Amino acid sequence: MTHSVIWVLVAATWAMASPAHGCNKALCASDVSKCLLQEVCQCEANRAGCSCCQECAFCLGNLWESCCECVGLCDERPFAAPRPAQRSSMHNLMSPVPSLFRALTAISDNDSPMGWSILTLPVEEEMKQNHAETDHLLLGPHTGLVLPESDSLNATAPPCQSIFFNECLSMSRCRTACQSVGAWRYRWFHNACCQCVGPDCQGYGGAEAICSNCRN
C-alpha cells in the first residue's frame, strides 16, 4: 500500500474519531495522525476499561490531555473533570533497584539539589491518598490496591518515599527517568509532573502533583 493511500485512510479514521467539538485539530492533527497510523489509539473507553489508553497516552505524550478528545478517549464529564494536575496515570516498572533508589534519596536529603524533591509519607497516609476520590488510571498489569485495616498496619514499617522531578516530563521520559533511579512504580500526572515511587511504598505514592517547576 502506498504512503498516499495510507495517509488517506488515516485522515478518514481521524475524521470519524474526532468529535464535532472539544478537539483542537490545529494542535493535535499531526500527532494524532501519527498515533492513528501506528494503530495505538483505536479503541473505545468504557466502564470495563480502556484497552489502548496506555499505548495512546505514550504516543501522544504531553498532548494526551489536550488531544485525547480527538480520539474519543477523554472522560465524558466536561463540568466535573478535574484539572490536569489532579489526574494521573500509574504503572509498575520492570527490574527496580531498591538499593539505588534509597541511596539517591539519602543523597538528595543531605546534599545539594539534584533536580528533584522528596516526598515522605507514613504508610497509612500513603494508602489513604491512593484511595482518595481522585481521577487516576492504573495502566497495564498491576497489583490491586487494598487498604489494610488500621490495626494491621505495621507502625515500624519504613515510610513511603517518592521522587518528584522539578521540571515537566512527558510520560515516556517519566518512565525512563524513574527506571534510571531504581523506582518500582511511577505516577505521571496529566500536567506532565513525574513522580517515581520508591520500594517501601505500598501503593503509588502521593496523589498530588508537587513538581516545583511544573504546576499547570
For the cut 60, the answer to whether the pLDDT of residue 74 exceeds it is: yes
Name the residue ranges covered by the structural domains of the chain: 3-71, 84-197
More confident residue, 161 or 44: 161
Three cell numbers, residue 66: 489536550
For the cut 70, the answer to whether the pLDDT of residue 165 exceeds it is: yes
Question: What confidence score (pLDDT) does residue 98 get?
Answer: 95
Question: What confidence score (pLDDT) does residue 1 get?
Answer: 53
For the cut 60, the answer to whether the pLDDT of residue 180 exceeds it is: yes
Question: What confidence score (pLDDT) does residue 40 get?
Answer: 81
Question: What confidence score (pLDDT) does residue 48 get?
Answer: 59
pTM (whole model) above 0.95: no
For the cut 60, the answer to whether the pLDDT of residue 47 exceeds it is: no
For the cut 90, the answer to whether the pLDDT of residue 178 exceeds it is: yes
